[in-house]
Amino acid sequence: MKPKAIYPGTFDPFTNGHLDVLERALNIFEEVIVVIAENVQKHSLFTIDERSVMISEVVGDYAGVSVEVLHSGLLADYARQVGARAIVRGVRQVKDFEYEFQMSLLNRHLYPEVTTVFLMPNVKYTYVASSIIREVAMLGGDVSKFVHPCVLEMLHQKRDEKKATKL
């Protein structure tokens, strides 16, 4: 029997690199819950509810995927609550690893039965990070190759809203 996993992240915004990791996770796990959480070290462009709408639209047709929001509390507690024994994280570069290593061990300390599984997206997404997509999109650059059309639309809306509030 293929077990259940959670795939947490800030997903601000959800990129094609995230989708690639999710698809790989679905080859291993029967059920994957995409968990949108806040990272205390990051200031987000989209609200957590906007990201929930965004990801639900992108993964709408995928069997075995659900989208949840972690409004507060620890991810490890959430994993325990839903009975997930695996946390999926995408790693693109070696520099991601130190932070991932810390989080993985802390989550295991908090919930010993959980294992973090690191998946590498297709090499074409190596340089696709939400932070750079946000920046380029807000400055008017074309990011259509890196995000789903509905994410692109939401980025454009956000850029227009920001422009309007500056006028």
In the annotation, is 130 catalytic? yes
- Backbone φ and ψ for 146, nearest 5 degrees, come out as -110, -10
Kindly give the interhelix angle for 149-166 and 48-59, rounded to the nearest 10 degrees.
150
Q: How far is the CB of 163 from ligand PNS (least distance, A)?
A: 26
Which residue lies nearer to ligand PNS by CB, 53 or 74? 74
Q: Among the options 42, 71, 162, 163, which is catalytic? A: 42
Task: Work out the burial of residue 141: count CB atoms within 10 Å of its CB; fewer than 13 is exposed, 13-18 middle, 19 or more buried.
Answer: exposed
Contacts to ligand PNS by CB under 6 A = 8-10, 37, 39, 42, 70, 74-75, 103, 106-107
Q: How far is the CB of 92 from ligand PNS (least distance, A)?
A: 11
Q: Among the options 92, 108, 158, 159, which is catalytic? A: 92
Strands (DSSP E) along the chain, which ranges? 4-9, 31-36, 65-69, 86-90, 115-119
Q: Among the options 24, 51, 89, 130, which is catalytic? A: 130
Q: Which residues are known catalytic residues?
A: 18, 42, 92, 130
